Amino acid sequence: MKYLTIISALFILFLSYESYSQSIRIVRTDVDSTRSDFITASYIFGFDIYLQDVENTNNVSFELVYDYNDFIKYSSYRIGDFGSDGIAYVIPKNNPGAQGSLKVGIFSGKPLGENGFTNPKVLHLEFALLQSAPDGEVVTFTFVNALTTAIVDSVPASLSLSSDPIQFTMHGFVNAWPGDADNNGIVDPRDFNQVALYIGTGSRSKNMRSFKRRSPSTLWGPQRVLVWDNADASYADCDGNGDVTVSDGMVVMMNMDSNHTSVNKTKNQVQSSGLEIKSFRTPTSVSIPVYAGFIRNYKAAVGEIDYSAIVGNYDVLGVEIGELFDNSQQFILIDDDKEGLKIEFALGCFEKGFDISLPGNIAYLIVEPKSGFPQLPELNLTKLKGLDMNNRLFDMNSSPSDVIDESVKDGIIITNDNAMITLAFRDELEFNSFRIFNPNGSLIRSGSLARDINTFTISLHNLPTGIYYIYLSGKDNSVVPFTVLR
């Protein structure tokens, strides 16, 4: 029983000490709390120093020791709550190749017990991280011999201040390779997913710094860039313009299967596992074809759709890849700017030797009618570019589907009489086949046309009410699209 009483007393004493222990802590001031675990080369970083669980104090002293002294340079200080009456002594010690330190003493300028401070912010410190700082290394700040004087139970006392080591990961300059979005040393389909993971990251992101590459290029080779606040996104910006967009997917296409050995993995770097293609279609959705004319063979395309004119009647669900890219090794990237009412897309096929040599539907804009069946939407497609077999971008011709029941286009007359579609065209026009797609983008009918025919009729009877797309194909691979309402 005697030993039990002694152990209990010691345990109570230990709890009492822990409950009333005093400490010293910091709060970063140059960034928000979500970015407080790293520091960035060529930028100033700073923090406020607070006393915790300390009452009626008038001073504090400590030595702040930190490593990587060759890259971290002390800049300046400001006195905190002690105000204009306070006095601070901050003495830097800078030994190249060794630890750096600041020897600090701060006084309120008032006698102990007279207008004492409780849990004060005692000092603000600022440092600079040099451009030569090694990326990914961790710097540690440690408080040594931290003491304060305070009134405890009406008696002046000198108190030791506990603290935990403070660590920051250094963001420095690294080599990024255009197209290696996950920085694993090889450009492969997983890089599409990595781009998709960070689309929209960059100048549009709040509370996040992104940086352009010093000499951006899509040519394969190392390019210096300062690591972003979101470190992994630094590599997903494949074209080096400071923003992750669908266009970065085109750079992946350009450098597919390229590799390098200078991988500089960041800690906890996200690695995408595979390429996922999402379907946006619903039982009541409408698929509006995104048509591309043919100029020269290509393997990928990038474009932008302005849907501001249709949001009153339709909800825009997304973009899906078209039948021209009907291949298991296809990709599509989407960035839906709901504030700007536009959607960007990049799509293609990364199978070796694959190319497109025909005009047709490269994609579908998937929309959902808000009520009933409103007026048919007209597609506003802008900035359409193709990626040719020599990895060069070129402007592509787009032919938005005109909404018609009876119309004339390029010498063709279309008449819609109770779901009987009659097409008549001039004698000099030669078409050899037709294709009809339903609102979901599925091919429902196709056929050949005789050489000497200039009039034929297509029946849409027994088909659900909706939008149907008719494509006439002629010589030289020319295609004329029409939209009709059943």
**Residue pLDDT, tens place only, 59-105:** 999 999 999 999 999 999 999 999 888 999 999 987 777 799 999 99
Amino acid 15: pLDDT: 34
Nearest residue to 377 (alpha-carbon basis) of 424, 440, 312, 435? 312
Average of per-residue pLDDT across 225-240: 95
Average of per-residue pLDDT across 400-405: 35
Is pLDDT above 60 for 161? Answer: yes
- Token pair listed for 186: 């090889």
Average of per-residue pLDDT across 262-282: 61
Is pLDDT above 70 for 268? Answer: no
Degrees, nearest 5: CA angle 41-44-47: 120
Average of per-residue pLDDT across 114-125: 90
Amino acid 259: pLDDT: 93
Average of per-residue pLDDT across 370-374: 72
- What domains can be seen in the chain, in order of their start residue? 21-171 (2.60.40.680), 179-254 (no CATH), 286-395 (2.60.40.680), 407-485 (2.60.40.3080)
Is pLDDT above 60 for 331? Answer: yes
Is pLDDT above 90 for 49? Answer: yes
Identify the helix (H) or strand (E) that includes residue 253.
helix 247-254
Amino acid 478: pLDDT: 58
Amino acid 4: pLDDT: 43
**Least confident interval from 113-127, 206-220, 298-312, 426-440:** 426-440
**Pairing status of strand 166-171 against strand 38-40:** parallel
Nearest residue to 472 (alpha-carbon basis) of 424, 428, 427? 424
Amino acid 41: pLDDT: 97
Q: What is the rounded average pLDDT for all residues in the chain?
A: 83
Amino acid 125: pLDDT: 97
CA dihedral 79, 83, 89, 93 (to 10 degrees): 0
Residue reference for tokens 């990626």? 387
Please state, in angstroms and rounded to a whole number, the distance separating the CA atoms of residues 211 and 226.
6
Q: What is the pLDDT of residues 290-330, one digit of tens each?
A: 888 777 889 999 999 998 888 888 899 999 988 788 766 88
Is pLDDT above 70 for 230? Answer: yes
- Token pair listed for 4: 């039990």
Residue reference for tokens 């000198």? 158
Amino acid 405: pLDDT: 33
Are 317 and 285 a contacting pair, CB within 8 Å? Answer: yes
What is the percent of the chain where pLDDT is above 90?
45
Q: What is the pLDDT of residues 2-35, one digit of tens each?
A: 444 443 433 333 333 333 589 999 999 999 999 9
Q: What is the pTM of this model?
A: 0.73
User: Between residues 51 and 397, which one has the greater pLDDT?
Assistant: 51
Amino acid 325: pLDDT: 81
Average of per-residue pLDDT across 180-208: 91
Amino acid 430: pLDDT: 72
User: Between residues 354 and 273, which one has the greater pLDDT?
Assistant: 354
User: Between residues 458 and 485, which one has the greater pLDDT?
Assistant: 458
Is pLDDT above 60 for 187? Answer: yes
Helix 247-254 and helix 190-198, axial crossing angle in degrees, nearest 10: 160
